[in-house]
Amino acid sequence: MTNAGTLHRIPTRPWRWVPWLVLSQLAVILVWVLAGWHWGLALMVASHALFMVPVFLPNSRFYAPVLSRLPEAGNSVWLTIDDGPSEQTPAVLDLLDRHQAKATFFLVGERVLAHPALVEEILRRGHDLGNHSHSHPQARFWRLGPGTMAAEIEGCQQALQAVSGRRVRWYRSVVGMTNPFVAPVLRKLGLVRVGWSARGYDGVGCTPDGVLARLLPDLRPGAIVLLHEGAAHGHNLAIIEQVLQVLDERGLKAGLPCSNSASPRDHV
């Protein structure tokens, strides 16, 4: 699969958005004074939207670089499975073995500490790990301040390191949301933010057929496929199995980015 050295997009300028914020607000003041409050207020609302909307766009590069597709992937896709480890993890691993597929499990730190044996089993079967926050605060992740955001990402990283003994390189934001305080932590820890190009919304209430209908058009070479385990709806295993069957039918291989190269920083 694609060499991991070409995939590393660790933030090198995590505060690059600050000058744009300053300039936008200076423009608001200038317009307010010269053209009146009606125009000034409209520009202020627009400028705030400019900085808020990217928080909720999973593949936006506004606040941090993101890997959303695999370059030069051949016939490969990258399966990523969020929210574990869970009681479904052993069954997920069995499905992957049956289809000779590999995946990266983006794990939650608290769950890692609660189920260290499952983490060890993921690694024993040849899969990879990623950082998916320490407590998965999905309702408020978008608005976490710098201290709490750092605690979420660093806490998960410490849990993964303690249990696996390995340096984890990949990170995925909770629900894909990335505010201004994510990039500085990624730079400090040397983490690469991973988005996706194929998503079926299987982490919320859904049916397998509905998920597959949303996923199928995007299951092609180079796709980063977002899947989940342990969701309350109980359909994750059926969905994962159907995705693996489709990959087999299309001659696509679920593999991992190679890990035998250096990790250069991407100046973005």
For the annotated catalytic residues, the residue numbers are: 82, 228
Of 204, 205, 206, 216, the closest CA to residue 242 belongs to 216
List the alpha helices (DSSP H) in 89-178: 89-98, 109-114, 116-124, 146-164
Question: At residue 114, what is the residue type?
Answer: A
∠205-211-212 over CA atoms, to 5°? 160
**Cα distances (Å, whole numbers) of residue 233 to 82, 175, 230:** 15, 17, 8
77: β partners? 254
- Specify burial of residue 263 (Cβ count, 10 A radius: 0-12, 13-18, 19+): middle
The distance from CA 89 to its chain's CA centroid, rounded to whole angstroms, is 19
